[in-house]
Amino acid sequence: MSESPNLTGQGRVASVLRFATELIAWIATPWALAGHSVVLAVFSVVALIGLPTVFATPGDKKQVLVAVPGWGTIALVVLQLVAAVVAAWVVWPVWLAVPVSVLAVLTVLMELPRWRWLWRAGGLVIQ
């Protein structure tokens, strides 16, 4: 199987946009949940940071702790994007939520080559 665009220069812009969106999700999601439950807010941070750290598709990251098929990695990225956008609209003013939404759309567009690669890597091969 070929190397993921994530590990090449082709994926650099996508990686930067994805990381920016992840940071927003890590900040805005617990902020949005803290008023309902501090435990839920803490759990959201643990899940948003921990899941992609532990689960990855072989060939998409240099180190994989627990291998998942490509669609699993795509799902984790979508989770981060949705969390960032929804939480931004819940806790931040419109003038800040709109750029977060635009960033998420740009991230999806830039992620498409990686997602195509990940989709082809859907039939998980344990190495």
| In-domain check, residue 40 | yes
Contact 68, 56 (CB under 8 A): yes
| In-domain check, residue 126 | no
Task: Give the whole-angstrom CA distance, residue 16 versus residue 67.
Answer: 23
| Residue 55 host element (H or E) | strand 55-56
| In-domain check, residue 50 | yes
Contact 64, 6 (CB under 8 A): no
Structurally, how many domains does the chain consist of?
A: 1
DSSP code per residue over 13-24: HHHHHHHHHHHH
Provide the pLDDT confidence category of residue 125 given band limits of 50, 70 and 90.
very low
| In-domain check, residue 127 | no
Three-state helix/strand/coil letters over 70-119? HHHHHHHHHHHHHHHHHHHHHHCCHHHHHHHHHHHHHHHHHHHHHHHHHH
Contact 84, 101 (CB under 8 A): no
| In-domain check, residue 66 | yes
Question: Could you list the residue range(s) of the whole structural domain that residue 90 is in?
Answer: 5-120
Q: Is the pLDDT of residue 127 over 50?
A: no
Q: Is the pLDDT of residue 118 over 60?
A: yes
Mean pLDDT over all residues of the chain? Answer: 90
| In-domain check, residue 125 | no
The pLDDT tens digits of the residues spanning 23-66 come to 999 999 999 999 999 999 999 999 999 999 999 998 888 888 99
Contact 47, 107 (CB under 8 A): no
The pLDDT value recorded for residue 61 is: 84
| In-domain check, residue 41 | yes
Provide the pLDDT confidence category of residue 22 given band limits of 50, 70 and 90.
very high
Please state the pTM of the whole predicted model.
0.88
| In-domain check, residue 93 | yes
